[in-house]
Each structure stands twice: as C-alpha cells, then as structure tokens.
Structure 1
Amino acid sequence: MMAYAIVRGATMVDTETADTAEWQARAKGLLKAELKRRNVTYAQLAERLAAIGVKDTEPNIRNKIARGGFTAVFLLQVMTAIGAREIRLD
C-alpha cells in the first residue's frame, strides 16, 4: 500500500512518515511530562523499573523516550513504576 504525499513548504513529505513522527513526538512528550511532574530522573526511573522486575539501563531508557517509538508495554511499565494511575491525552 502506498502512502500519499503532501507538500510542506517546498518539500514532499510521506504522510505515513509524517503522521508517525507526530505520534512519536506526542508519546515522547507525554512520558517526559509525567516524569517531570513527579521529579523522576532517568536514573531513578531505571531503579523503579528494576523494582517491578523490568531490567533496563538508564541510557537505553533515555534513548527509547527520546525516539518516542517505544512499545505500549514500555509505556505501561513506566507509568506503573512512577505511580501514575491515569494519562491525560488532551
């Protein structure tokens, strides 16, 4: 299946890629905001994840969040580890 292209400025953009990048940015922003709200660093997050049985390194966590392309499982693990009980999408 071929994605349609749109023009942004003078550049052709694959809509599938553009849409994915926007969703990844939104996911990244959501997680970073939740961590900031709770004053949790990446090092602390690695410790909290380990406490619930999720082994991951601080650099790996930082990279996952920076990309925004993490799994729903990772999102749920992080939210559980930091004690978040709800997610606001607006």
Structure 2
Amino acid sequence: MSDVDAQYQTRAKNILKAELKRRGLTYRELAERLTNLGSPESERNLTNKISRGSFTTAFFIMCMDAIGAKDVQLA
C-alpha cells in the first residue's frame, strides 16, 4: 500500500469515528444498526475493521446511513 493510500484510509477511519462520537454511538450500536440494514456485523469485527481503516466505500456509506449522517465534512 502506498503512503497516499494509507493517508486516505486514515482519513476515512477518522471521519467515521468522528461521526460516531458526534452522535454518541458505540460500535455495538453501529453493529445493531448495520444488522437492521441487512448487513450483520459484530461489535468486534467493526472495531477491527474501523481501527485498520481497510473498508470499502460501500461500507463507509452504509455506516453513514446507519448513523444518520446526511453530510460528511472532508476538510
């Protein structure tokens, strides 16, 4: 993985974590919401996936939908 890819993975991870924190949601609550959307995830799997930052764009958008984020601040 290039340094540029790693930087963007870190950025996506930090955006997701910030949105969860802003809404006061835990990984467990996110897992429940994703399961309700039809994408079962365990709390442990989410913790690992998010801490690595190695998730797809589809997963990122699904998480944003699950937590109710309508806009994402990139700057």
- TM more than 0.5: yes
* Higher RCO (CA 8 Å, separation ≥ 6 residues): 2
How far apart, in 1, do the equivalents of 2:47 and 2:62 lie? Answer: 15
Report the CA distance between 1:19 and its aligned residue: 1.0
Report the CA distance between 1:18 and its aligned residue: 1.1
Aligned to 1:83: 68
Which structure features the higher share of strand residues?
A: 1
When the two chains are superposed, the root-mean-square deviation of aligned CA atoms in Å is: 1.0
Identity, in percent, stands at 49
Report the CA distance between 1:21 and its aligned residue: 1.2
How far apart, in 1, do the equivalents of 2:64 and 2:41 lie? Answer: 15
Greater Rg by CA: 1
Aligned to 1:17: 2
How far apart, in 1, do the equivalents of 2:34 and 2:73 lie? Answer: 22
Aligned to 1:55: 40
The TM-score normalised by the length of structure 2 is 0.94
User: Which one of 46, 64, 74 corresponds to residue 49 of structure 2?
Assistant: 64
How far apart, in 2, do the equivalents of 1:22 and 1:72 lie? Answer: 15
Which structure features the higher share of helix residues?
A: 2
Report the CA distance between 1:53 and its aligned residue: 1.0
Report the CA distance between 1:54 and its aligned residue: 1.0
Q: Give the residue type in structure 2 aligned to 1:75.
A: F
Q: Runs of 4+ in structure 1 displaced over 3 angstroms? A: none
Report the CA distance between 1:17 and its aligned residue: 1.8
